[in-house]
Amino acid sequence: MLRLSKKMLFAIEAVLDIAYHAGAEPVQSREITRRQGIPRRYLEQALQHLVRQNILVGVRGPRGGYRLARERRRITIGDIVRVVRDMEANSALIEETPGSALGHEVVRPLWVELQKDVMRRLNETTVDDLCTHANKAGIKSEGRENLDFTI
């Protein structure tokens, strides 16, 4: 079942932060925590899952952090949602819970169809789309400020 949990919201915000504030150096998790206010216990867990699923790349070392594993226009919000949904897969499936005939034959199919519609929309929305929205909203990118193009 698709639900907007804290972990899901934090994972989307973290990937967007990495995409939007990326500069020459990888984005460190403490910087994401500072900018987004995401508790580190949620953040580190989500980032590791995103690395394992090839959404992000972890860079080791004192100046390490995280980068996108591919171009931001090639990562959809649906990709991120699926990673977090798999992390949270410990809850019972809707099909396995008891219920009435109305619930099984009318309400649950409606809910499944709505979830498919939401996932379709999330699969059409890229990280690049959200970065464009952030730019139009006037949110400053710390990564672009730190880029130096002098030779």
The stretch 4-29 carries a mean pLDDT of: 92
Task: Tell me if 30 is assigned to some domain.
Answer: yes
For residue 147, pLDDT over 50 is answered with no
**Whole-number average pLDDT of the chain:** 87
Task: Tell me if 68 is assigned to some domain.
Answer: yes
Query: Which ranges of the chain does DSSP label H, i.e. alpha helix?
Result: 6-21, 29-36, 40-52, 77-87, 101-102, 108-124, 127-136, 142-145
Task: Tell me if 150 is assigned to some domain.
Answer: no
Q: Tell me the percentage of the chain whose pLDDT exceeds 70.
A: 89
Q: Where residue 149 falls among pLDDT bands split at 50, 70, 90? A: very low
* pLDDT value for 58: 95
- The whole model's pTM is what? 0.84
How many domains in the chain? 1
Q: Tell me the percentage of the chain whose pLDDT exceeds 90.
A: 60
Q: DSSP letters of 51-91?
A: HHTTSEEEE-STT-EEEESS-GGG-BHHHHHHHHHHHTTTS
The stretch 97-121 carries a mean pLDDT of: 88
Task: Tell me if 151 is assigned to some domain.
Answer: no
Which CATH number covers residue 80? 1.10.10.10
* pLDDT value for 143: 78
Per-residue pLDDT of 46-88, as tens digits, reads 999 999 999 999 999 988 999 999 999 999 999 999 999 888 7
The stretch 13-40 carries a mean pLDDT of: 93
Task: Tell me if 15 is assigned to some domain.
Answer: yes
Span of 31-35, 45-49, 89-93, 128-132 with lowest mean pLDDT:
89-93
Task: Tell me if 63 is assigned to some domain.
Answer: yes
Which residues form the domain of 53?
A: 6-145
